[in-house]
Amino acid sequence: MGLLDYFRAPSGARKGSASVAKERLQILVAHDRAARDRPSYLPRLQQEILAVIRKYVEIDNDAVSVHYEQEDKYEILELNIVLPEADARS
Amino acid sequence: MARTIVITSGKGGVGKTTTAAAMAMGLAQRGHRTVVIDFDVGLRNLDLIMGCERRVVYDFANVINGEANLNQALIRDKRCEHLFILPASQTRDKDALTQEGVGQVLEELRKTYDYIVCDSPAGIEHGALMAMYFADDAVVVTNPEVSSVRDSDRMLGILSSKSRRALENDEPIREFLLLSRYSPERVASGEMLGVEDVQEILALNLLSVIPESKAVLNASNAGTPVILDVESDAGQAYSDMVARYLGEERPMRFLEMERKGLFSRFFRG
């Protein structure tokens, strides 16, 4: 590294818009990749589970969350359903 | 054993056709029997970049439909005897390329050629999928710019899920990165993603970095693949690409700013 580079890149951190671009891309690409590997039926599955539970308990739209993960040899489908507080159910 | 190489990117205007022309010429110059195919139905351009636009009689779709045989449609390059061009159809609609038809033509070409370079159209529509489907190797052309990098990642996803090798559980496609329109000055000043940044995100085997260069426009103006401009930075960077693709080790060039004058030479050591 030449002497000028010390002035060009103070304290090792790179300034300018490129670092913003990289950060945005890393988040975006990770998000895209996660969505890519997910089965396409997940949103529908989530809606239907929500509808079934609503037959019995009144819950919010975001009370059912579906997580999908793929390991080497198996897939994990994780369902998380948040029921309302007991006294709210009456 | 013939290899089918797709030049892809997702995004348009990043240099796919320039790369396809340069790579095909580079392989042919080394004595490999090479054919380069334009998959961009309705928007053919490879013939212009190769400088054979006035010699097109029959095209890819004519061959698929049995209106011409392969030898009638293939155009022999006037500069290199090992290189042939198969132009895209300018008039037909995109469905002219059926998977079966493309497969048959490629199968026929594999008997005579060492390398089949497929110049993909932009996007993820039918033509692009056809160009990728039969590939053994893929060169993902990327500019150091957010939308291009994102689209490249998307293409990698498609290559690993919708290609023949993926669907038939064959050995996966070998994927390579080609970074083009690179400006070392802008990278140094922090305005442009650097080669390490792009590689960190895409994690691909880097074939070459093509600097932003006047030579590319000059070459396309003249209808000469830029790799033939051996004095130019872009031409040399493309020669490196072909060498590395064939397994030669070459240090990366054109990543640093040109050193100007005594002053900066003194400071930069």
CA distance B177 to B158: 15
Threshold 0.80, pTM exceeds: yes
**pLDDT (tens digit per residue) in B147-192:** 999 999 999 999 999 999 999 999 999 999 999 999 999 999 999 9
Neighboring chain A residues of B267 at a CB cutoff of 8 Å? 2-4
Å between A62 CA and nearest CA of chain B: 29
Contact A29 B264 (CB under 8 A): no
The shortest C-alpha distance from A82 to chain B (Å) reads 34
Three-state secondary structure call for residue B117: strand
Helix (H, G, I), strand (E, B) or coil at B52: coil
How far B189 CA sits from the closest chain A CA (Å)?
Answer: 7
Q: How far is B238 from chain A (nearest CA, A)?
A: 25
Chain B contact set for A23 (CB, 8 A) = none
Instruction: Choose among A5, A16, A32: nearest Cβ to B190.
Output: A16
Could you tell me which chain A residue has the CA closest to the CA of B157?
Answer: A36
B22 to chain A nearest CA, in Å? 29
Whether ipTM > 0.90 holds is no
Q: Which residues of B touch A8 (CB under 8 A)?
A: 188-189
pLDDT digits (tens, 9 = 90+) for B88-123: 988 877 678 999 999 999 999 999 999 999 999 999
Which chain B residues are Cβ-neighbours of A17 within 8 angstroms?
Answer: 190-191
Taking contacts as CB-CB distances below 8 angstroms, the residues of chain A near B201 are 22, 25-26, 29
Stretch (H or E) spanning B60: helix B60-64
Q: Position A84: which residue type?
A: P
Report chain B's mean pLDDT, rounded to a whole number: 93
pLDDT digits (tens, 9 = 90+) for A47-71: 899 999 999 998 888 888 888 887 7
Judged by average pLDDT, the poorest of A35-49, B22-36, B74-88, B205-219 is A35-49
User: Least CA distance to A25: which residue of chain B?
Assistant: B146
Q: Please enumerate in sequence order all residues whose Cβ is within 8 A of that of B75, keeping only pairs 6 or more positions apart, or say none.
A: B47, B52, B55, B56, B84, B85, B86, B87
- HEC readout, chain A: CCHHHHHHCHHHCCCCHHHHHHHHHHHHHHHHHHHHHCCCCHHHHHHHHHHHHHCCCCCCHHHEEEEEEECCCCEEEEEEECCCCHHHHC
Q: How far apart are the first and last CA of chain A?
A: 71
Contact of A67 with chain B, judged by CB distance below 8 Å, is answered with no
Say if residues B97 and B39 touch (Cβ distance below 8 Å): yes
